[in-house]
Amino acid sequence: MATAPLRTAEAPLQPQVHPSAPIPVQGAPLGAAVRVPLGETGARVFPLILGGAEFGWHVDLDAAHRILDAYYERGGNALNTSDAYAAGRSEHIIGAWMSRRAVRDDIVLGVRVGTNPDHTGLGPVNLIRAVEASLMRLDTDRIDVLYLDATGDSAARLEDTLATAEWLIESGKVRAIGSLGLSASQLVEARILASAGYPRLTVLDVPYNVLRQGEFDGDLKLVAGAQGIAVTPSQALEHGYLAGAHRSRAQVAGSVRGSQLAAAMNRRGTRTLRAMDRIAAELSIPTSAVAIAWLLAQRTVVAPIVNVYAVAHVDELMQGVGAKLSRSQLAEIARAAQ
């Protein structure tokens, strides 16, 4: 009687693959081919920047690394954090991830400084100390875009701040300068100083979304457009309300985030969300992706900054990059948001 052949190390059993199994994906992710210039910084980024505001606060290290993995593996290459997020833990988490994955050269890293209690303000001494501390926490030798957060400092002279930024660039610690909290007149002043040899402000962070247009529309938008400044708006989802998961005050009562969400839970917010729901159904994408697509349809907006706390959120939001809203859909959203 014939016997079955022995299994040897030279001829291992091959796993059986079902005929309907998905085709394995090989090579670079599709998103790796999607890059846009980040203003005059010289960097090219995926048009959706992953923010680290939740890291070290609502999201621990392991969960944050899974989120970062998901974003990077789908083609994302731009990260944004602050030295004030979770007392610096966000920077520690991102730095550990870049070191573990050995991807620092693939990442365009933006860091906001100016509001950390240990180095508050944009005066020369505090600015240098803040950058040095961030570099140490991030375990890197340079910051690609340093966002100067002026929201908590009205005393520092812009000329002194830019002179310090010039030294940081010349020393190789910073590659480009962005801003947050500067007025339109201050951007004009910064451009005048740039003509005298100081570094140019090339990126602007401003809270901006379909429900929060007043802070940017107007002089600030006109100046940013005229100067060719790349806008990377934060609060793209209005504290998560535009994702559509929370629609009533009862769902979010009793928390800090609940009070933030409740501010959008009015007739205007409900009307806008319903319009976005209809468009999301038409395009077969999540409502949160419509919010991203709306931002990318606005002039001067290069890449919104989004803070997430689950891998599923990365998948949802990245769909907004590929979605193109028609004129009628943009008009529908505009009417609802009035």
Write out the two tokens for 218.
């107007």
Q: How confident is residue 31, by pLDDT bands cut at 50, 70 and 90?
A: confident
Helix (H, G, I), strand (E, B) or coil at 10: coil
The pLDDT value recorded for residue 55 is 97
Write out the two tokens for 18.
């079902």
In this predicted model, what pLDDT tens digit does every residue of 124-164 receive, in sequence order? 999 999 999 999 999 999 999 999 999 977 688 999 999 99
Distance separating alpha carbons of residues 139 and 133, to the nearest angstrom = 10
Higher pLDDT pick, 261 / 330:
330
The pLDDT value recorded for residue 245 is 77
Write out the two tokens for 11.
């001829």
Percent of the chain with pLDDT over 70: 86
The pLDDT value recorded for residue 14 is 47
Give the residue carrying structure tokens 């050269």: 105
Distance separating alpha carbons of residues 99 and 77, to the nearest angstrom = 15
- Which residue pairs from 167-171 have beta carbons closer than 8 angstroms and sit at least 24 positions apart in sequence? 167/128, 168/127, 168/128, 168/131, 169/199
In the predicted structure, residue 25 carries a pLDDT above the cut 50: no
In the predicted structure, residue 44 carries a pLDDT above the cut 70: yes
Spatial CB neighbours of 148, under 8 Å, sequence gap ≥ 6? 113, 114, 122, 127, 161, 165, 177, 178, 179, 180, 182, 201
The pLDDT value recorded for residue 244 is 79
In the predicted structure, residue 10 carries a pLDDT above the cut 60: no
In the predicted structure, residue 238 carries a pLDDT above the cut 50: yes
